[in-house]
Amino acid sequence: MTDVAVPVTTKKDWTSDQEVRWCPGCGDYSILTAVQMLMPELEAKREDTVFVSGIGCSSRFPYYMNTYGIHSIHGRAPAVASGIAVSRPDLHVWVITGDGDALSIGGNHLLHALRRNVNLTIILFNNQIYGLTKGQYSPTSETGKVTKSTPFGSIDYPYNPLSLALGAEAGFVARTHDMDRKHMMEIFKRAYQHRGASLVEVYQNCNVFNDGAFEQITAKDARPRMLIPLEHGRPVRFGPEGEHGVVIEDGTARVVEVAEVGEDALVVHDEHRDDPSLAFALSRVASGPTMPTPIGVFRDVERPDYGSLVNQQIMAAAEAKGPGDLAKLLASGSTWTVG
């Protein structure tokens, strides 16, 4: 059978007729634009694309994409999306979520979607605050954060979303930020092309309730000094002149001066390494967005996705036992006659 050519689309084709309703200046706008501009490059079909979200500011995203979409319930987007991805492996399923939605009430669903390697592209907007409910601290808020729900400062230790994903053996893990559209599009494209569970953390500014949370590393003049670009097969170094680098000693990654240790001492990034320990160490370089922070693809490894394995089992069972009998199944085991 001859493949049907994918119609050429533009950003306009992927933009719905709904009014975008985020606060002026919100970082969500730039993420939305990056995705809408990327979709034509992917040669994707709108009818084969589904965006699933939970609850939060970011979760309005499906309304603004001219595709299929589901605005589901708090924290349950990975569960809803998993059902779609497993039952319809021909679709491209995106999950749009936030740090509160994904890592608080939705933590269990996110963890198992990653562990099972469900074929999902998960974009996690991290603004380190609850924006929709007006400024409570979130699972990624720094210790000591003063908010409406922590008037004396948070005593919680924050999640590191990438460390969590790597601990769950996610096949694709990356980080980008809302101030660099080109980088976002590159990372989103890589995540989309990966078969299996992909998680991209996006540092996203909430200019109303947590303005400037990432400006120490994402401001234009700060990036050369504070962002550590990860490039596969290359030593991890950064700085205006490449004067800083990262070494790993006893499993711990730390920033050094290249002139003091020599380039040969620097860790060489291997995003395809099956053992996630290297990527995990790199995810721990920064304890928060106030110190040099790695950005880019931390891990990209291939393994069978959950939906493919499930459907292989179904086909094998059908071949071995023949077509099922729904009426027989419903009447099997213990049954009762009511009234």
Residue 137 and residue 154 in contact, taking contact as beta carbons nearer than 8 Å: yes
Q: Flag whether pLDDT at 338 surpasses 90.
A: no
CB within 8 Å of 264: residues ≥ 6 apart: none
Please name which of 52, 65, 171 lies closest in space to residue 123, comparing C-alpha atoms. Answer: 52
Question: CB of 53 within 8 A of CB of 96?
Answer: yes
Q: Give me the mean pLDDT over the 305-326 stretch.
A: 88
Burial class (CB in 10 A: 0-12, 13-18, 19+), 74: middle
Contacts of 126 by beta carbon, 8 Å cutoff, 6+ apart: 98, 99, 140, 161, 201, 202, 203, 204
Q: Are 106 and 54 in contact (CB under 8 A)?
A: yes
Query: Roughly how many angstroms between the first and final C-alpha of the chain, as a whole number?
Result: 55
**Integer Cα distance of 322 and 275 in angstroms:** 40
Helical axes 107-116 vs 77-87, angle rounded to 10°: 30
pLDDT in tens, 176-216: 999 999 999 999 999 999 999 999 999 999 999 999 999 99
For β-strands 293-300 and 68-71, DSSP reports them as unpaired
Q: How confident is the prediction for the chain on average, in pLDDT?
A: 95
Asked if CATH classification 3.40.50.970 holds for the domain at 11-213+304-312, the reply, yes or no, is yes
Q: Which of 8-17, 129-138, 193-202, 315-324 has the lowest mean pLDDT?
A: 315-324
pLDDT in tens, 262-273: 999 999 999 999
DSSP state of 12: G
How buried is residue 112: exposed, middle or buried, by Cβ count under 10 Å (0-12/13-18/19+)? middle
Query: Does residue 216 sit in helix, strand or coil?
Result: helix
**H helices present in the chain, as ranges:** 28-41, 61-64, 77-87, 99-100, 107-116, 161-167, 181-193, 215-218, 223-226, 258-261, 277-283, 306-321, 326-330
Whether the per-residue pLDDT at 324 is higher than 80: the answer is no
Asked if residues 31 and 179 have their Cβ atoms less than 8 Å apart, the reply is: no
Give, in order, the Cα–Cα distances in Å from 325 to each of 28, 130, 212, 313, 332.
Answer: 49, 49, 60, 17, 11
Question: pLDDT tier at 1 (50, 70, 90 boundaries)?
Answer: very low
pLDDT category of residue 4 using cuts at 50, 70 and 90: low
Q: For the chain, which residues make up each domain, given as ranges?
A: 11-213+304-312
Tokens, residue 85: 């991805």
Four-residue CA torsion sign, 207, 213, 214, 217: positive
